[in-house]
Chains A and B, each alone.
Chain A
Amino acid sequence: MVEDYLVGSVGQLMERARHLLAAISKPYPAEFRALAQTCRNQVNELIAGFEALLNNPRYRKPKLKALRLRAYTDLVNRLDFIESIGFAALVRINEEDKQMTRLVSDIAEELMFPLPAPVVSCQSHFSSYFHAFPGLNVLRVPLKEGHFLLHLPDLYHELAHFVIEEQNNPAVQAFQDAHAKATNAATGHLAALLSKPTRGPKTNQEKYLVWTVSWMRAWATELFCDLFGVLGAGPAYAWAHLHLCAKSGNDPFEVETSPDSTHPPDEARMFILLESLTRLNYGTLASEIESRWKELIAARNFKKNAEYELCFPKDVLKRFVEEAALGYRAMNCRCSSPNSGNKIHDLLNEAWAKFWKTPKQYADWESQNGVILPKR
């Protein structure tokens, strides 16, 4: 069964891979050429992998059947990934994609970002919001995001995902080491709880284990990317976080107890942002953001709970703030400062200042002043 199945399926997949190569066989603007080449190289590598799966005599040995099927699944998934991310970005390039790619490249330059700036594709789906795809160096944003300023600070957060996922590169090692150290502080705190003799229910132990997994799998990374965002974009990043939370309506103190959890509670995220802003000498603005944040939480009637306090103690969160600042500076990235002279940084912060100063006129101001892209 396996042999016949693989012969039929792999043959079809190789044909699909060739179709993809044909679809991007055309000239590309300079900033998209690296992506086109990456896609070409990766698909050719996959075709070679498919051929080996059929023709390498070692795979015929019965004891290697499971290994062969794992290799097959891996190749299928990689082809699927590259088609839906890399090729999907390349076959639809429009003016917005080009301008957003340029914008992110300018942000990277302002930050002295240590890696090549990613390509931007304005095609994220309903639930996807902004998302980074390291490996292909692609960033997806919602269709019309480039026309508006208030969420653009989130682009700084996304850049950090490329830093965290970079491999074998000493230029970003300090930030990655800091990420590991901060994660250890969080999981170490839970390990201490786990090792305590307890008469409590067994479910507590299970919960601590799930939280440990969540810290390792996603929470620490998200917090570190937030800290990169605030160190680079300054107060505008914290405002953008408040904006996102106001729109989502999620309980900011809710600690998820599913291993599928991807995001730490919003209160923890805001806490580290405000701490970081204070250390960047934005104390007055940090107080203003905090006061509006508290107002928002009170208006929704959200309250701290014991689980939040247990899983996200302040000393652990402060350790994240310290480590991220050290790692960020060690990469020689530029820190946010008031009136930095960096055009995009200053524009994003000015946008938030205008938003609060004259909310009624903000939309008009944005359409006339801070616009990066030609209007809708």
Chain B
Amino acid sequence: MSQIGIHAGGYLRVSDYARSVDRLLLDLQSGDTPDTETINPVLSLLGSVSDEKSAAPLVQLIKLQWREVSKEAVSRLPNIIAELKSGSPSEQTLSDLESLAAVLDKERVTMRLRLRGE
């Protein structure tokens, strides 16, 4: 397979993850209560990130990169998940989700550049 092709699948998946986190942040930072359609994809992503052994390689990569940016956020994962489930995320959780959004955006941009052969 070509170098371009290998990034196509990853790009779409990272793009989906990034979009789901941004959609949730849009609700939370606007003071709106996210519905399950908005919150579930993020909970599912965070659940996969927590699951060290069976996470897809791309999710493991995201975790590795997130840890480099914010070790604290990754260690707070159980709290982040619990707060999102309870419907009352703290300021700290919002900030942790922001750091995840930045990691996902960076990986999305990186893959996008490679997809274009740049």
Contact = CB atoms under 8 A, between A and B. Distances in A.
Interface of A: 58-59, 61, 63-64, 67, 70-71, 73-74, 77-78, 81, 85, 124, 127-135, 140, 154, 157-158, 161, 164-165, 167, 176-177, 179-181, 183-184, 187, 212-213, 215-218, 220-222, 225, 260, 262-263
A71 B12 contact: no
A58 B30 contact: yes
Chain A interface mostly: helix
A73 B115 CA distance: 15
Give the 4 A-B residue pairs with the shortest CB-CB distance, closest first.
A131-B5, A165-B9, A216-B61, A135-B12
Interface residues of B, number: 39
Contact of B64 (A74, A161, A216, A218): A216
B10 interface: yes
Contacts of B114: 260, 262
Given A130-B1, A181-B54, A216-B57, 17 more contacts: A63-B29, A67-B25, A70-B101, A73-B109, A77-B108, A78-B15, A128-B5, A129-B5, A133-B5, A135-B9, A140-B5, A158-B1, A177-B54, A216-B60, A218-B6, A218-B10, A262-B6
Given A61-B30, A70-B105, A176-B56, A161 B10 contact: no
Interface of B: 1-13, 15, 18-19, 22, 25-26, 29-30, 32, 53-58, 60-61, 64, 101, 105, 108-109, 112, 114-115, 117
Given A70-B18, A213-B64, A180 B55 contact: yes
B6 A134 contact: no
Q: Which of A157, A177, A180 neighbours the largest number of chain B CB atoms within 10 Å of its CB?
A: A180
Contacts of A85: 8
7 contacts: A61-B30, A67-B26, A78-B15, A130-B5, A154-B1, A181-B54, A218-B7
Contacts, number: 128
B57 A180 contact: yes
Contacts of B60: 180, 183-184, 187, 216
Nearest to B16: A167
A85 B117 CA distance: 14
Contact of B57 (A61, A64, A220): A220
A35 to B, nearest CB: 15
B108 to A, nearest CB: 7
B56 A161 contact: no
A134 B5 CA distance: 9
Nearest to A226: B1
Given A58-B30, A63-B29, A177-B54, A225 B9 contact: no
A222 B1 contact: yes
B1 A225 contact: yes
A183 B13 contact: no
